[in-house]
């Protein structure tokens, strides 16, 4: 990991640990609630891992805080400005693609705003998010193939799509030029699921 990635991983790990401890949860309880291995959770808390977006979503959902709370400054603000280039790069590809979380709201109704660049050949397969999740995407440059529930949609510059995020979906760049797109994700009721307050059993 480069220095900026390491710093982000350390910040995320510290926030996961603080939120877990504030709930009085053990590592095992959070791992069970999030559906991730204890080893992965330990690595995340120690800042030693560069977890996938899916893993971070599972952890933040289990903690009832939403993904933006893991990467944003912990003190709540009415207005938050993310200067250009300072968003949290939570996905990167070998070819230089990046998925950057540039803004987000707090739970319970979490909205995330992403800035994505996928180079030729990039692909991201996303598991189904929490029930009721919605996604809105607009391609700014290039061409992007969005698959939702097994149906593919090819979008070019200016095209937009809305779809349920609570089914498996993917984004892929089959073109020769980079695809740049904005993505908004709405995840309602984060932290209100019954399993959040379940027992240790």
Q: Which of 75, 109, 125 is the last residue in one of the domains?
A: 75
Residues 98 and 61 in one domain: no
Angle between helix 3-23 and 38-45 (nearest 10): 110
pLDDT in tens, 119-153: 999 999 998 988 899 999 999 999 999 999 889 99
Question: Span 165-191, mean pLDDT?
Answer: 94
What 8-state DSSP symbol labels residue 19?
H
Residue 69 sits in which domain range?
3-75
Q: What is the pTM of this model?
A: 0.72
We report the CATH number of the domain holding residue 145 as: 2.60.120.10
Exposed/middle/buried for 140, CB within 10 Å: 0-12, 13-18, 19+? middle
> pLDDT at position 1, please?
58
Residue in the structure block whose two tokens are 């399993």: 195
Predicted local distance difference test score (pLDDT) of residue 4: 73
- The model's confidence at residue 200, banded by pLDDT at 50, 70 and 90, is very low
Bridge partner list, 114: 101, 183
Structure confidence by residue, pLDDT tens digits, 19-31? 888 888 999 999 9
Neighbours of 165 (CB within 10 A): 24
């Amino acid at each position: 990991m480069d220095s900026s990635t390491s710093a982000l991983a350390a910040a995320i790990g510290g926030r996961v640990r603080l939120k877990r401890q504030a709930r009085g949860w053990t590592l095992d309880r959070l791992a069970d609630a999030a559906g991730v291995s204890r080893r992965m959770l330990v690595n995340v808390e120690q800042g030693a891992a560069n977890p996938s977006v899916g893993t971070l979503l599972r952890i933040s959902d289990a903690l009832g805080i939403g993904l933006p709370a893991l990467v944003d400054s912990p003190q709540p603000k009415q207005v938050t400005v993310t200067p250009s280039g300072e968003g949290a790069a939570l996905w990167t590809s070998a070819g230089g693609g990046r998925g950057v979380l540039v803004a987000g709201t707090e739970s319970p109704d979490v909205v995330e705003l992403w800035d994505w660049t996928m180079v030729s050949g990039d692909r991201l397969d996303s598991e189904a998010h929490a029930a009721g999740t919605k996604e809105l995407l607009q391609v700014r440059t290039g061409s992007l193939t969005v698959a939702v529930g097994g149906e593919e949609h090819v979008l070019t510059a200016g095209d937009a799509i809305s779809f349920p995020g609570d089914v498996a979906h993917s984004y892929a760049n089959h073109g020769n030029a980079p695809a740049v797109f904005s993505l908004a994700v709405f995840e309602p009721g984060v932290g209100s699921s019954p399993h959040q307050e379940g027992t240790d059993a």
